[in-house]
Amino acid sequence: MRVTEVKMRSSTLFTNVLLASCAVSAYSIDAQKPLSPSESSSLSSLLNLHKNLIEIPSISRDEHNVSQWLANYLEGQGFTVETQSISSDPPRENILAYLGSSRKTKTLITSHIDTVPPFWPYERRGDEIWGRGSVDAKGAVATQVKAVEALVTSNDIKEGDVAMLFVVGEEIDGDGMVAVNNLGLSWDTVIFGEPTELKLASGHKGILSVKISAHGKAAHSGYPELGRNANDLLIHALAKLMDVEWPSSERFGNSTCNIGRMEGGVAQNVIAEEAVALIAVRVAAEVDKVKALVEETLLGVTPDLQIEFGTAYDPVPIDHDVEGKQSARRLGLLSANYDIRI
């Protein structure tokens, strides 16, 4: 099974990983119940790991420091650790950890160690933890590591049962996970860690990334008739785009469009010669239909727009047949800054 073909099946191991330690429940502990010494120790260990991960900035394409720290930590816990180089300039690595010499395992536990920008330092606000990546996805990484450690300690798993994989680049183009296909490994069960309120994700929307460039003619703002404003062209085009009725599906709901970034012109008294917008459509149906809608809408405003399509893929359905667990569809990637309650 390729990593990009996610399958989750019911298994005793899956249930154990989710429930074996306070790592899973640490974020919803009843404050009115005193913790036992062992629970308190486990919680403290989890929170320390979580804090260390958050305090190391790891914005996509700058993950080297957190990769190295996590690799050293896992080696210190007795795991065999492999680093998979994604690039050398800048240095970026995936981390694969397992017991003994069996890199081939039945189950893979995985999440990502990169975050969206900007870096937000770790802080505690009462019973909340704030900081970039505290939820997505260093909360998952810390929980997964501590759950596997607990299962090793209790002898519920052994060599050949479980591997952990922590990848880079998830928040941008997924190059870390794509590279995992080169490891030559497959698994019976893959458990992905993402902020889903402990519900199983039955699938997630696809995406279409678009760069729109408008080209005008520069002139002084006192003589607008001598130029052509690229900002005007782009604004009118984007306004039309927001009126589009995007395709939907029963499983994934509505497609949605976000204008994430706009840039144009050089000064307020100069007619803008160039303008650019970056948009992302969360795709609930076929991505080719969305591409056609984007082109039809934008070029209907003016042919003087350049459209460049980037990352594009259809919605991804996921097998999620684990008995006793609730499920929910993933509407997109959650880039949460906030908070874990403890």
How confident is the model at residue 202, as a pLDDT?
Answer: 78
Confirm if 100 and 82 have CB atoms less than 8 A apart: no
170 is catalytic: yes
Q: Which of 63, 93, 149, 170 is catalytic?
A: 170
Which range is least confidently modeled, 48-62, 268-282, 318-332? Answer: 318-332
Q: What is the pLDDT of residues 250-303, one digit of tens each?
A: 889 999 999 999 999 999 999 999 999 999 999 999 999 999 999 999 999 888
CATH topology of domain 206-313: Alpha-Beta Plaits (3.30.70)
φ and ψ at 249, to 5 degrees? -145, 160
How confident is the model at residue 319, as a pLDDT?
Answer: 73
Confirm if 210 and 128 have CB atoms less than 8 A apart: no
Q: Where are the chain's structural domains?
A: 12-204+316-341, 206-313
Which CATH code is given to the segment(s) 12-204+316-341? 3.40.630.10
Q: What is the pLDDT of residues 178-196, one digit of tens each?
A: 999 999 999 999 998 988 8
Q: What is the pLDDT of residues 69-107, one digit of tens each?
A: 999 999 999 999 999 999 999 999 999 999 999 999 999
User: Residue range 119-137: average pLDDT?
Assistant: 94
Mean pLDDT of the residues in the chain:
85
